[in-house]
Amino acid sequence: MAIFYGKGSVMTVRLAVIFGYFMVLLSIGFLTRTRWKATPDEYFLAGRRLAGFLLLGTMAATNFSAFTVFGASGAGYRHGYAFFPIVGFGTGFMALTFWLIGKKARELGKANALITPAELVGNLYSNRSLSLVFSIVMIIFTIPYIALQPIAGGYVLNRLFDLPQAAGACLVTLIIVIYTFRGGLRAVAWTDMFQGSLMVVLLIVAFFLVSSHHGGLGKANETLRLANPALLSRPGGVGAFGPAMWFSYLMLWFFCDPMFPQLFQRFFSARSEKALARTMLFYPFVCTLVFLLPVSLGVMGTLTFPGLSGKEADQILPILLTEICGDFMGTLIMSAGLAALMSTMDSQLLTLSSIFTRDIYPAVTGQKVKSAMPGKIFVLVLAGLGVLMAINPPGTILKIATQTFTGLAVLFPTVLMGLYTRRPDPVAAITSIISGEALVLLSYVGKFPSGGFLPAVPIIVLAFAVYFVVSFTRGKGGVGILLPSRRTMLFSLLFLSLFVLAIDWWWWNDSASYLWGFPFWVIYFIILSAIQTLLMRWWLKSGRPHPFDPPVS
């Protein structure tokens, strides 16, 4: 076994693992590729036939990005377990929008041959200017999110092979571009399925290996309780997550996640209403499992490598795994991080390619795109911009994500009002988007007071308020809003109660040890996610009308 301890042999093992992973990925992309002459439905939406675990897998994997593995582990390192419920329960709670928005989006998309989110908005409002504004905002605020992926890829390859950050970011981006260019959504969905499954399995392995290294999970948490009890209580290790910030993040995920263009487009690709419903039901469980693992690894990382700060903490996972898990297993597990970021970036590039091809290019040139080449060139431009940002990251992964998520959340009022009003007002929608993004810009330069909340909270509230004020002023409001049914009001109250229970101020500073050394509030949020799933199942079984009554003719 001595051969494995030489530096050359170590590098050989790492190269073999990463090269094998890339080859498997490219092979899946090649075998599931879309024909060259495929229709837009086939290329961008896999023929609108995604269902079962393939739909769930691609929906989850495209949402679980570098932020999930590297951002969550870095946040766990800095803030402790306090970050787990924020992303675990918060992201799972967002699954309600799969029905609130996804169900009608899928129906309208199929009926009107819609491919992009902007096409849906244009169809709802019958306004090309609004569609163009919507698509431009989606692109602008997805570019920093794209950049998160090569940033994290650069961290991994730098740790494994001492590659410069820029070289690692370029290599990861190149692999993604190769199989995305040719394969379309079918290839992306199957690679997502592979990468998502790999990510979950290997993070579970990493969780047990690292906890075993510290004498088991219970002992590791007990050591943490003695050394740094703040990591096992709210408001967290650096006191960042008080009640206002806690509420802010739960609210942000709900409004921003369905506005991710790559996630939104998945609504169009679902084979049926039933397929979308099953995806919604399983999503909270998947979120709970997936986010608990990297947050816990980040928390345990403080025992082995204390003293990291800022962007350094985002590298705790590759640092931890290469030191504890050995060269082969550590490299294999780190490929889970690559899987997370690549399964998001490929979807982002594909979706933004469709937006450019079908929304931006025709609006600018006055001509429909007759080939896929403009969209592919645009993909290269986006990938290049992502790499440029990745060379010198402007902040931590959590900070970058929070800022870009806020910009996308501003689009939520326009989509919701378009789906659930009889006379959606395009002027109100455009005003809401522009004013909301202006406030995002002010918050970015530190000129927008948010009263202790994330800027996203007042910005989203004001975006809704602007829509309503402009709509009523123009005489487009009032009876145009569809009234919820009694059934919808009942379930809305139940889900709202669940959300309120998630702001569990009554044991805010509790860090007492319970199951496996976790504080009880960690278990509590796992229970809340299970209750959410039961509520959604009851909601679906009691009938499947739209969340609101149909318009009165």
Q: What is the 3-state secondary structure (H, E, C) of 176-212?
A: HHHHHHHHHHHHHHHHHHHHHHHHHHHHHHHHHHHHH
Question: What are the structure tokens assigned to 70, written together?
Answer: 């590297």
Q: How confident is the model at residue 80 (pLDDT cuts 50, 70, 90)?
A: very high
Model pLDDT, residue 404: 86
pLDDT tens per residue across span 339-361: 777 777 878 888 888 898 889 88
Name which of 260-269, 446-455, 542-551 the model is least confident about: 542-551
Task: Please give the average per-residue pLDDT across 230-239, as a whole number.
Answer: 85
pLDDT tens per residue across span 5-28: 445 677 888 888 888 877 887 787
Residue 49, sorted as left (phi over 0), alpha (psi -120 to 50) or beta, turns out to be alpha
Model pLDDT, residue 552: 34
Task: Please give the average per-residue pLDDT across 276-300, as a whole number.
Answer: 94
pTM reported for the whole predicted model:
0.87
pLDDT tens per residue across span 442-470: 998 888 888 889 999 999 999 999 999 99
Is the predicted pLDDT of residue 387 greater than 80, yes or no? yes
User: Is residue 261 within 8 Å of residue 138, measured between CB atoms?
Assistant: yes
User: Is residue 369 within 8 Å of residue 358, measured between CB atoms?
Assistant: yes
Model pLDDT, residue 4: 40
Of 456, 441, 341, 404, the residue nearest 142 (C-alpha):
404
Is the predicted pLDDT of residue 144 greater than 60, yes or no? yes
* Higher per-residue confidence, 467 vs 32: 467
Task: Please give the average per-residue pLDDT across 169-190, as a whole number.
Answer: 75
Tokens 């609004």, residue located: 130
pLDDT tens per residue across span 409-434: 999 999 999 998 888 999 999 999 99
Dist CA 456 CA 252 (whole Å): 6
pLDDT tens per residue across span 393-413: 766 776 777 778 899 999 999
Model pLDDT, residue 125: 94
Question: What are the structure tokens assigned to 346, written together?
Answer: 């490929």
Question: What are the structural domains of the chain?
Answer: 10-239+260-401+512-541 (1.20.1730.10)
* Higher per-residue confidence, 395 vs 70: 70
Per DSSP, the three-state class of 284 is: helix
Mean pLDDT of the chain: 84
pLDDT tens per residue across span 492-517: 899 999 999 998 887 777 767 777 88
Question: What are the structure tokens assigned to 499, written together?
Answer: 């959300």
Task: Kindly state the percentage of the chain with pLDDT values over 90.
Answer: 40
